[in-house]
């Protein structure tokens, strides 16, 4: 079963130093459901990331406000963990809810921005933008 955002928040609050949080983020990434071999495609590749990142979205349910789910992977352990946090934040939510999420508030609450390199922060932003575009396109 996937970790929820509330569980991530709670676990972050129990970990005092960033090195422990960093290890926890990596552990979250190890729990991701793997992508199928064919999902490592150019269509699923996220641009703007230093690491290689793939997000495979799926929309289901009604056409007006479908549910967004996605699988993701990266060749970098910490990035896989960031994908797991994004999964807990966005996957399984209706598109209208996805579009109302303030990812910056969540990242600030977890102090992610101040502990990521500028390149990782840019990659995280690229992943968020990709998920937002998928949600906006679904509403069009």
Give the SS3 label for residue 93: strand
Catalytic-labelled residue, pool 8, 28, 46, 49: 49
Query: What distance in Å separates the CA atoms of residue 128 and residue 103, rounded to the nearest whole number?
Result: 8
- DSSP E strands, the chain: 53-60, 67-74, 93-94
Check if 59 is active-site: no
**Is residue 57 left, alpha or beta, with left meaning phi > 0 and alpha meaning psi from -120 to 50?**
beta
Positions annotated as catalytic residues are 49
């Amino acid at each position: 079963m996937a970790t929820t955002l509330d569980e991530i928040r709670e676990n972050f609050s129990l970990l005092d130093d960033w090195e422990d949080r960093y290890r926890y983020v990596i552990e979250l990434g190890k729990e991701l459901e793997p992508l199928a071999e064919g999902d490592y495609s150019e269509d699923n590749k996220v641009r703007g990331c230093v690491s290689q990142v793939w997000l495979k979205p799926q929309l289901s349910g009604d056409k007006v406000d479908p549910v967004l789910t996605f699988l993701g992977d990266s060749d970098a352990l910490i990035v896989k963990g960031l994908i797991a946090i994004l999964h807990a934040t966005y996957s399984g939510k209706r598109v209208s809810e996805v579009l109302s999420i303030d990812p910056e508030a969540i990242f600030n609450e977890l102090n992610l921005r101040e502990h990521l390199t500028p390149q990782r922060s840019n990659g995280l932003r690229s992943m968020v933008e990709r998920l937002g575009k998928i949600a906006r396109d679904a509403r069009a």
